[in-house]
Structure 1
Amino acid sequence: MKKKFISGTLFVAAVCGVTACEDHRDSPNAAFPERIEFVAERQYPEGIAYSSQLDRFIITSLTQGKLGTVSPSGQYQDLLSVPELISGVGVKVANGRIFVANSDNGVSTKSSPQTVRKTAELLVFDLSTRKLERRVDLDDLLPGVNHFANDLALDPNGKVYVTDSFSPVIYQVTADGQASVLVRDEARFSSPTFGLNGIVYHPNGYLIVANTGAGKLYKVDLNNGNAVTEVGGISSLPGDGLTLVGTTDLYVVTGSGSRVALVRSNDNFSTASVVRTDETGYSMATTSTYVNEEIFTLNARIGEIGAAMGDPSKLQSDTYSIQQFR
């Protein structure tokens, strides 16, 4: 049985702008290659962030219950592993901490009947010590239904917003670790296949979230009672990871991970349009991060996960890459 709440050191975030809070936006001195190849045995990394403190990318693992790092030259190293981390999905780095969405879709070496499709948690690690500081249980907020905590976003006040792909909700976790359902929307957040996925915080006070199965982007207005509206102007865009650059440009991994679309809005994402796509070099990609004023997307071989449901022994890949948007 999972513990409902484990609390160590408080993770009180400083009030700062989005750029300052998210280390993955900080730029290293040297330019990165357009494609970074790396080897990590059966890693199947779903999430990626960049840490200026480590000068390395941080990646999760759906199958190993650990986090790893990748250097710009393609050297992989294990970073941390704790029993509580079953499948790491989305990841962010901010204020000397690593924030990870923890789930279980049945393909991890740590999967169990008690946790498969029943796990939605936020784990917070100290970047320097690698120790688990906080574990916040989210699935207990909606008992008796399926769960898969997918991606997360941070706001300047230290709140964390987490999507659930199997339940039509976005969770909110305050800076002192108090969890609640921010918004539940059966009509727009549900999907018969895979629902809510990537999420970003916009500095104008709203969230943008992707519903993969519906092929739509939605806006959640935090300053207006968390009102949910569809981002108009886009016919169908089954989005995975989302990365916001500035206030107008949103990079969306789509096409079952075969391309990245640049979506632009000039009206606060009431509407938007696809202004450019990159279909070069992506192999079952999941999400992106912004480094050196460039978008780098993780090629995670994620399609193999779906094909191996019920038989994790099929998951044997060890080569992955990080691809620059061209």
Structure 2
Amino acid sequence: MKTFYTFSSVLLAVGFGLTACEDHRLSPNASFPERINFVAQRQYPEGFAYSAQLDRFLVSSITQGKVGTVDVNGNYADLIAPPELISSMGMRVADGRLFVCNADQGVSTKSTPQTTRKTAELLVFNIASRQLERRVDLDDLYTSPAHLANDLAVQPDGTVYVTDSFAPVIYKVMPNGQASVLVENPLFASATFGLNGIVYHPNGYLIVAVTSAGKLYKVDLKNGNAISEVGGLPNLPGDGLSLLNGDLYVVTGSGSQVAQLRSTDDWKTATVVKRDTEGYSQATTNVAVNGSIYSLNARIGEISAAMGDASKLQSNTYSIQKFR
């Protein structure tokens, strides 16, 4: 059992009250182009968010365990690089805090034999102070030969849900930091890469992508966490997910496109209403900003191609693409 510390636990629990909402829906001080190119040395930024507080996109780093910012002009700067963060994966911003999935695929400068393919954690940072406020161990909650915390969703009351791509579970972290397994199901199991993107729907359920199966599932939080496949869809190996104006945007096609999905029956079924295939290459995830969807071209395919050899990961150029 790993031992972790928690900062300002009482204040954090109060802060995670009923006002928790993502800090990226509207940023009137910024004008967003259709494409933003940026340079960040060996960043490999799998996770992506936006902070109106900083007026910047936030990008993670699989290889360096840090988080950086990118402005609308493509200027990159490091934001945080704490020693606890091995590989920063999925991220969300809510109530002035940055929620980050911490994992280890064995290609980070901080990777060790003890943490490689065995790490699933949730780290919470105060954006203003850049300080770590909470670190929650998740991998000890479920016995599995491998773990990888991939993506997360934040409920309005501050509850966080985290997917594990190497174990068939979704974790739940309460506003006070108490963690548990929300659901475990063989539908989420995979010999390669299982659970991936996740979103919280305001009607009280989660939508998650299982990449290897090419399917989306609904987890009904108001009905005993009942799990059902979202029907009516073609094979859709999903990565990152974002909701905007009731539609779901899915990074798919090995990061070569974003599919816009729509449902008329509360996501019992859905249809693909549009696919945007221009401007995407090895994309991972997306975020809603000012009424538009932006996706991150992260060179994610190079991670698996490196076969665990971090010296092969030397790319410095990345981009952010608007859905059209």
Query: Which band: TM-score by shorter chain?
Result: over 0.9
Q: List per-residue Cα deviations over 1:29-79 (Å, max 9, x = no partner).
A: 342110000000000000111100100001100000101000010000000
> Match of 1:259?
257
**Stretch of structure 1 that moved more, 167-176 or 308-317:** 308-317
Distance 1:7 1:292 in 2: 34
1:315: which partner in 2?
313
Confirm or deny: 8 A CA contact 2:27 2:55 kept in the other structure: no
State the AA in 2 paired with 1:24. Answer: H
For 1:93, the equivalent position in structure 2 comes to 93
Q: Deviations over 1:175-224 (max 9, x none)?
A: 000000000001x1011221000000000000000000000000000000
Give the superposition deviation at 1:285.
0.1
In 2, Cα distance between equivalents of 1:198 and 1:82: 24
- CA deviation profile, 1:74-130 (whole Å, cap 9, x unmatched): 000000111110000000111111000000000100000000000000000010110
Which residue of the partner structure matches residue 18 of structure 2? 15
Mapping for residues 99-118 of structure 1, pairs under 5 Å? 99-118=99-118
User: Which 10-residue stretch deviates more, 140-149 or 215-224?
Assistant: 140-149
- Paired residues of 1:4 and 1:136 also in contact (CA < 8 A): no
1:54 corresponds in structure 2 to 54
Partner residue, 1:191: 190
CA distance in 1 between counterparts of 2:54 and 2:30 reads: 14
Aligned residue runs from structure 1 range 18-57, under 5 A: 21-57=21-57
Query: Partners of 1:155 and 1:231 in 2: how far apart?
Result: 21
In structure 2, the residue matched to 1:136 is: 136
1:236 is matched with: 235
Alignment RMSD (CA, Å): 1.0
> What TM-score comes out, normalization by structure 1 length?
0.96
State the match for 2:204 in structure 1.
205
Letter paired with 1:201: Y
For residue 144 of structure 1, report the CA deviation from its aligned partner: 4.5
SS at match of 1:7: coil
Q: Secondary structure at the match of 2:304?
A: helix
Instruction: Provide structure 2 residue ranges, at least 5 long, that are not aligned to the other structure.
Output: none
Q: CA deviation at 1:25?
A: 1.6
- The one-letter amino acid of 1:96's match is G
Q: Structure 1 residues 30, 79: CA separation in 2 closer, same or farther (over 3 Å shift)?
A: closer
Find the residue that maps to 2:5 and give its secondary structure. strand
Matched, 1:157 2:157: yes
Q: Is the 8 A contact 2:68 2:76 kept in 1?
A: yes
Q: CA deviation at 1:265?
A: 0.4
Q: In the TM superposition, what is the alpha-carbon distance from 1:145 to its structure 2 partner? A: 2.1
Q: What CA distance in whole angstroms lies between the structure 2 residues aligned with 1:144 and 1:182? A: 16
Partner of 2:268: 270
Task: Give the CA deviation at 1:322.
Answer: 0.3
Residue 78 of structure 1 corresponds to: 78
Measure the CA separation in 1 of the matches of 2:307 and 2:85: 19
Return the letter of the residue paired with 1:304: E
The percent of aligned pairs where both chains have the same amino acid is 67
Matched residue, 1:219: 218
Contact 1:282 1:323 in 2 (8 A): yes
Describe the superposition over 1:234-269 as per-residue Cα deviations: whole angstroms up to 9, x where unpaired: 0210000000113x3000000000000001001110
Q: AA paired with 2:62?
A: L
Q: TM-score, with normalisation over the residues of structure 2?
A: 0.97
In 2, are the aligned partners of 1:25 and 1:289 still within 8 Å (CA)? no
> In 2, Cα distance between the equivalents of 1:67 and 1:309?
23
Distance 2:27 2:168 in 1: 35
- 2:282 matched to which residue of 1? 284
| CA distance in structure 2 between the partners assigned to 1:171 and 1:200 by the alignment | 13
Q: 2:114 aligns to what SS in structure 1?
A: coil
| AA in 1 matched with 2:162 | V
1:245 and 2:244 matched: yes
Shift, 1:26, TM fit: 2.3
